[in-house]
Chains A and B, each alone.
Chain A
Amino acid sequence: MYYYEAYHRPFKYLEADYAAGDNFIIDITYDWKGISSSEHPNRDYTLKVYSK
């Protein structure tokens, strides 16, 4: 699946679709691009995995 960060909408797995002990492998590749100097942040990101 392709994750589009701009809208901050998460991937969602329904409770019925996974079980305790399931292992998820997530590959992340950011295509960083230098633009101008003062407006842009570091090359840092956070992967969050959560449920209620």
Chain B
Amino acid sequence: MSHAYSLISVFNLYDTDTTTVLHKMYMIRNPWGVTYYNGTWKHDDAAWTSAFKAQVPHSVDPTTSNADGIMFINAADFLTCFDDFQSAEYRDNEGYTDDWYDKINDAGTTSTYSVTVPAKNGDLYFTIDSYFQGQIPQSCWNGIYPIV
């Protein structure tokens, strides 16, 4: 099993003329809230000039955001470091419909869910997800992990 990161933003770093693209960048977050990235554009890379720092979106400071698991990587390195990426589209305004069934403190026995589809509304999807440590307040952890 490998690890997955969140792709927060894709943006350009421009020259002082504000039109010439010097670097195509990816802002990525490790959901564990830590980063061990040690390549170009790491948090203490001298490449982060004040002019480039000012162009980072979402008011993120690339020289300190590693403490929250955020790292930056250029387009060429992105393609060599990751073998897969997926994008999602939030479609609430397009008739998106769903049902969620939360199971709390599952005992490991089989639970059966019955879902009746009210109408045809495009392709139908089913997912089942547990929650990893970066998604749960530490006070809620109980030291149990699923085999997947």
Contact = CB atoms under 8 A, between A and B. Distances in A.
B is a partner of A:
yes
Interface of A: 3-6, 8, 10-15, 18-52
A18 B126 CA distance: 14
Interface string B103-127: 1111111111111111111111111
B98 interface: yes
B143 A15 contact: no
A41 B115 contact: no
Interface size class of B (residues with CB under 8 A): 35 or more
Interface of B: 1-2, 4, 86, 91, 94-133, 135-136, 140-148
A35 B145 contact: yes
Nearest to A4: B148
Nearest to A3: B128
Given A26-B115, A40-B141, A40-B143, A10 B136 contact: no
17 contacts: A3-B127, A19-B120, A23-B114, A23-B116, A24-B115, A26-B115, A27-B111, A28-B112, A29-B110, A32-B146, A36-B143, A41-B132, A42-B142, A48-B126, A48-B127, A49-B98, A49-B124
